[in-house]
Amino acid sequence: GARFVHMVYCFARYVMTEDMKKLSVDTGIPFAEAVMRRPEDMYIAKARHRVAYNKLLQILQREDFVIQEYKKKAQ
């Protein structure tokens, strides 16, 4: 349900953040400053967040549908 999707989204965000930390080593850009920096336009930032969240939700729903169809055909 919605709680599971939210948990997967948070996990994916965590993994991406950890990956960014590893990639930012020795680049001269402090990771904490880059992540904690607030965007200039919060409306655009929130809109991007909604788009990304909805896209993840669509992908998970499509994947669930395909799995259900495979289960029906396997019976």
Q: Give the confidence band of 32 by pLDDT, cuts at 50, 70, 90.
A: low
Helix or strand (DSSP H, E) at 68: helix 42-74
**What Rg value do the Cα atoms of the chain yield, rounded?**
17
Are the CB atoms for 56 and 9 separated by under 8 Å? yes
Structure tokens at 62: 């499509």
Closest CA to 60 of 11, 15, 16: 11
Mean pLDDT computed over 3-31: 77
**What pLDDT is attached to residue 15?**
84
Mean pLDDT computed over 6-32: 76
Q: pTM for the full model?
A: 0.47
Coil/strand/helix, residue 23: helix
Model pLDDT for residues 34-47, shown as the tens digit of each residue? 665 667 778 877 88
